[in-house]
Structure 1
Amino acid sequence: MKHQDFSERLDAAKNAKQAMAAKFRQRPGPDDPAVAERRVARAAMSAARDARMAERETKRLAEDAHIAAEREAHATERAEQEKRMAAEKEASDARLQAERKAARDARYAARKARK
């Protein structure tokens, strides 16, 4: 291993700093055409992404509205069906009660006729 004295280490550090500064200066500035082109491309991709997200959100909202409308239609249909069934049951109960009353009245009249 080579031992460096203090001045060699200072020179090495100075050279490293100069290399980093040179590398930084080589980077293109914000007014460089390539940088501007990349910025425009990134902005276009971002706008396209935002448009796709908005389109997906619109589709999702439309689908949710469609599903809600279907559920409402099914609920309305189910309520109407339950009303019809309740009306049919009420009519059936009334008819059955009338038949029972008629049978009871017939038995009563037959008993009265026998006496």
Structure 2
Amino acid sequence: MYSSLMEGKELIELKFRLFDGTDIGPNKYEPTTTIGSLKEIIVDQWPQDKENAPKTINDVKLINAGKILENNRTLVESRVQVGEIPGGVITMHVVVRPPVLDKNNEKLASVSPKTNRCACSIL
């Protein structure tokens, strides 16, 4: 039954816009593709000449229509509009978590999910 439902579904054409305005893609994906899978593709296809390359999918955030998409959800569950623009490509924005300075080793290190850092100014 599930496969018969999917037969009528269109592939979703996506491209991923990086911080400097360059793109990865466009490529077509099944509506059941997870956001985590898309992030793996982004990490694998990250241009070699770009700085701030993500090391894992946890270093990447995908934004579509102003929403940060969750790793465990599919494109359909994330309400990515299929066929909204006939023949159109959906652009998702990619945000990469910047590396931070490790105070102990004076090296760049990834931010631990348990570490919360905030810089505020009160005027």
Output the TM-score relative to the length of structure 2. 0.17
Question: Higher strand proportion, which one?
Answer: 2
Output the TM-score relative to the length of structure 1. 0.18
Structure whose CA Rg is larger: 1
Higher relative CO (Cα under 8 Å, sequence separation at least 6) belongs to 2
